[in-house]
């Protein structure tokens, strides 16, 4: 029974406090009550925290869009995150494109120029897809997670203490208003003509003034304490900015690694495609990047032609035959070629080199020799000489 009485009294007291705050807030909005202003430093901290929260949310959401453009996938990831479960792994767009290219190249035939190129492009796209997946994972861990922790953790604590400070400020101003009204009533009563009424009412209002002054001291103390707590939390925003700066550096480094990987993958792919005959490098209405003599172009499409020097120029089918034999042959270089690494041999157009096959070497390459220099050379850059 005593516990019930206590709960009822507490409920009544809370209701009275809520009503007092509502009245004070309404009167402030109507300009009928004074409002205690926060000091300029605290106001600046509150403004800085609010600004940090707004821009952190915008940056976080747009980063999520950048890393995962598919809104349905983002919703799915959000649901799994709230359920504290790992989202199922799905193939991303570059990986899917790469798989389609590989399947198409296999269907067309790896031995054809187009089929071989599709397979090489597909493998590169799948490597880009893997790099994309690593970028998403690294960015989520090192950049998005700290931003989300601030929004869902630190800022929620700040918002809670800020709301409590607002309530303490309303209690303080309500106490000031009650004290002001009590003193005004005491002054009016003291001016009454009746000595009996004056004595009774002065005593009543004197007690009310004393009670109001005590309440004001309590509310002032609680307001000052809450203002200090809020100020200490808000001053931590500077540390938050420093932490987010480190996270931003991690994000930039992750992007830099990703784009560097993609660039290297495409550079390697370009070199691989460069080993194909030049007629495969251009569109119908475009010329080749490298100028190639007409006689050289004819080499690709004919089975056997005779050059102006009387040497017989053989077709790619003869080059294939060369790979199947163990001897060496002379070959003329069709166009310049820059070695991609130390295992390859750089070539100059029109020079003659010795070529021979090596067991286990890729079908698109031969081993070239020029004096003391030796290295792999792309087979389609050569004219085999008899």
Tell me which DSSP letter residue 290 carries: S
Q: 3-class DSSP state for residue 156?
A: helix
- Per-residue pLDDT reduced to its tens digit, 178-225: 888 888 877 776 766 454 445 556 667 678 888 888 988 999 999 999
- Cα 363 to Cα 71: distance, rounded to the nearest angstrom: 45
What is the pLDDT of the chain when averaged over all its residues? 80
- Rounded (10°) angle between helices 237-273 and 113-139: 170
**126 contact partners, CB below 8 Å, separation of at least 6:** 94, 95, 98, 99, 102
Q: Are 42 and 227 in contact (CB under 8 A)?
A: yes
| pTM of the predicted structure, to 2 decimals | 0.62
The SS3 call for residue 367 is strand
Nearest to 384 by CA among 309, 343, 328, 339: 328
Q: Which domains does the chain have, with CATH numbers?
A: 38-275 (1.20.1270.60), 329-384 (2.30.30.40)
Looking at the predicted structure, is the pLDDT value of residue 161 above 70?
yes
Residue 15: pLDDT band (50, 70, 90) is: low
According to the model, what pLDDT value does residue 5 have? 56
Dihedral (CA of 26, 29, 30, 34) sign = positive
- Split at pLDDT 50, 70, 90, the class of 284 is very low
d(CA 124, CA 98): 7
> ∠ at Cα 160 (157, 161), nearest 5°?
90
């Amino acid at each position: 029974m005593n516990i019930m009485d206590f709960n009822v009294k507490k409920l009544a007291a809370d209701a009275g406090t809520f009503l007092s705050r509502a009245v004070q807030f309404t009167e402030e909005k109507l300009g009928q009550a004074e409002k205690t202003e926060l000091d300029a430093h605290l106001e600046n901290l509150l403004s800085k925290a609010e600004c940090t929260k707004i821009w952190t949310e915008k940056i976080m959401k747009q980063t999520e869009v950048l890393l995962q453009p598919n809104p349905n996938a983002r919703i799915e990831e959000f649901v799994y995150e709230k359920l504290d479960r790992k989202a199922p792994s799905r193939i991303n767009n570059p990986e899917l494109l790469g798989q389609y290219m590989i399947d198409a190249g296999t269907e067309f035939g790896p031995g054809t120029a187009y089929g071989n190129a599709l397979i090489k492009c597909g493998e590169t796209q799948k490597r880009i897809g893997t790099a994309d997946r690593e970028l998403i994972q690294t960015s989520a861990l090192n950049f998005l997670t700290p931003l989300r922790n601030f929004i869902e953790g630190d800022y929620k604590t700040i918002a809670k203490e800020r709301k409590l400070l607002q309530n303490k400020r309303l209690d303080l101003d309500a106490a000031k208003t009650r004290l002001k009204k009590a003193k005004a009533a005491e002054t009016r009563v003291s001016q009454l003509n009746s000595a009996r009424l004056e004595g009774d009412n002065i005593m009543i209002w004197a007690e009310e003034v004393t009670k109001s002054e005590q309440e004001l001291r309590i509310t002032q103390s609680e307001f000052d304490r809450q203002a200090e707590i809020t100020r200490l939390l808000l001053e931590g925003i500077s540390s938050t900015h420093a932490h987010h700066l480190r996270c931003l550096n991690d994000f930039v480094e992750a992007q830099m690694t990703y784009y560097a990987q993609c660039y290297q993958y495409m550079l390697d792919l370009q070199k691989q495609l460069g080993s194909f005959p030049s007629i495969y490098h251009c569109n119908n209405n475009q010329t080749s990047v490298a100028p190639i003599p007409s006689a050289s172009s004819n080499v690709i499409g004919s089975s056997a032609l005779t050059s102006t020097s009387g040497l017989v120029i053989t077709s790619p089918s003869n080059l294939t035959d060369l790979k199947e034999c163990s001897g060496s042959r002379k070959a003329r270089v069709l166009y310049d070629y820059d070695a991609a690494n130390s295992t390859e041999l750089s070539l100059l157009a029109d020079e003659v080199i010795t070529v021979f096959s090596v067991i286990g070497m890729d079908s698109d390459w031969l081993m070239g020799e020029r004096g003391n220099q030796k290295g792999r050379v792309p087979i389609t850059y050569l004219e085999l000489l008899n």
